[in-house]
């Protein structure tokens, strides 16, 4: 085995173990606010790691099939008891699938809002550039919009001169005047 692959197998084993513990937790029957919050955090971690919703659905499908077999074995020929157990299992799984999908929907909405904010900033910058052909005004506004979009408190905007040998500070926010003065011209 290559070293990098061993790490992947370890992560996969870890995910399987977490999923196994999770399915055991599902059967405990405590579905309070703490449970929902834990499930949302796990969903966020899975989403952040790049696990697609189809991964969740595949895991739930596998679990459901295994659980139904065990229910059938445990309940024997008592059809009413089997039905009650499968109904309870379905209720639990759909609750959890809903929580998992909510995580992905929330992330998508967050990403869409961030992109909309970025586009609005660019639109405003373009409108200002069209209204005012003053380069410094446009650069200062561009820096302000970029910092706002990035939720950053400081930044510096440089331009390269015509010769390509000097980088000149044109706008700055959140840095001391001394630092800005020291950074005003950088020669290559």
- Residue 184 structure tokens: 């005003």
Contacts of 58 (CB under 8 A, 6+ apart): none
Whether the predicted pLDDT of 129 surpasses 90: no
Considering the chain, what percentage of its residues have pLDDT values greater than 90? 12
Q: Is 173 helix (H, G, I), strand (E, B) or coil?
A: strand
Between residues 156 and 110, the one the model is more confident about: 156
Comparing CA positions, the residue from 162, 154, 160, 161 lying closest to residue 179 is 154
Predicted local distance difference test score (pLDDT) of residue 29: 67
CA end-to-end distance (rounded Å), the chain: 47
**pLDDT, tens only, 133-151:** 688 888 888 888 888 888 8
- Residue 80 structure tokens: 């009413």
For the chain, what is the total number of helices (H) and then of strands (E)? 6, 3
The pTM score is: 0.49
CA 80 to each of CA 64, 74, 86, 163: distance values in angstroms, whole numbers, following the listed order: 18, 13, 10, 85
């Amino acid at each position: 085995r290559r070293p990098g692959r061993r790490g992947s197998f370890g992560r996969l084993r870890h995910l399987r173990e977490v999923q196994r513990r999770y399915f055991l937790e599902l059967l405990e029957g405590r579905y309070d606010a703490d449970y929902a919050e834990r499930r949302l955090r796990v969903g966020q971690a899975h989403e952040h790691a790049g696990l697609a919703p189809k991964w969740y659905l595949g895991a739930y499908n596998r679990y459901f099939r295994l659980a139904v077999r065990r229910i059938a074995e445990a309940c024997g020929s008592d059809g009413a008891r089997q039905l009650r157990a499968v109904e309870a299992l379905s209720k639990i799984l759909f609750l959890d699938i809903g929580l998992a999908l909510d995580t992905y929907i929330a992330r998508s909405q967050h990403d869409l809002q961030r992109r909309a904010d970025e586009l609005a900033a660019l639109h405003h910058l373009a409108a200002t550039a069209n209204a005012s052909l003053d380069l410094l005004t446009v650069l200062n506004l561009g820096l302000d919009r970029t910092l706002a979009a990035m939720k950053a408190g400081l930044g510096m905007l440089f331009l390269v001169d015509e010769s390509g040998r000097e980088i000149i500070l044109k706008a700055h926010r959140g840095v001391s005047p001394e630092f800005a003065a020291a950074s005003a011209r950088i020669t290559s």
